Amino acid sequence: MMKPNESGFSFVELMIVMVVIGIMAGLAVPSLNLVFKKDKLRTSTATVTASLYTARMKAVNEAEPYGVQFDEGGSGNFYIIRDPEGANEIRGAGYSLESGISISENNFEDWLVIFNEFGQLEKSCLTGGEMTGTIIITNSSIDSTKVELNYLTGRIRERNL
Contact partners, residue 53, CB within 8 Å, separation at least 6: 156
Query: What is the spatial distance between Cα 65 and Cα 33, in angstroms, rounded to a whole number?
Result: 41
Query: What is the spatial distance between Cα 158 and Cα 161, in angstroms, rounded to a whole number?
Result: 10
* Assigned domain for 61 exists: yes
Looking at the structure of the chain, the number of domains it has is 1
Per-residue pLDDT band at 1 (split at 50, 70, 90): low
Element (H, E) at 101: strand 101-106
Query: What is the spatial distance between Cα 116 and Cα 40, in angstroms, rounded to a whole number?
Result: 31
Query: pLDDT tens digit string along 108-145?
Result: 888 889 999 999 998 888 887 788 999 999 887 678 99
* Assigned domain for 1 exists: no
> Hey, what amino acid is at 72?
E
* Assigned domain for 2 exists: no
Provide the whole-model pTM: 0.76
Query: pLDDT tens digit string along 72-90?
Result: 766 678 888 877 666 677 7
Quote the domain boundaries for residue 47: 11-160
* Assigned domain for 79 exists: yes
* Assigned domain for 4 exists: no
Query: pLDDT tens digit string along 20-39?
Result: 998 888 887 777 676 777 88
DSSP conformation class of 112 = E
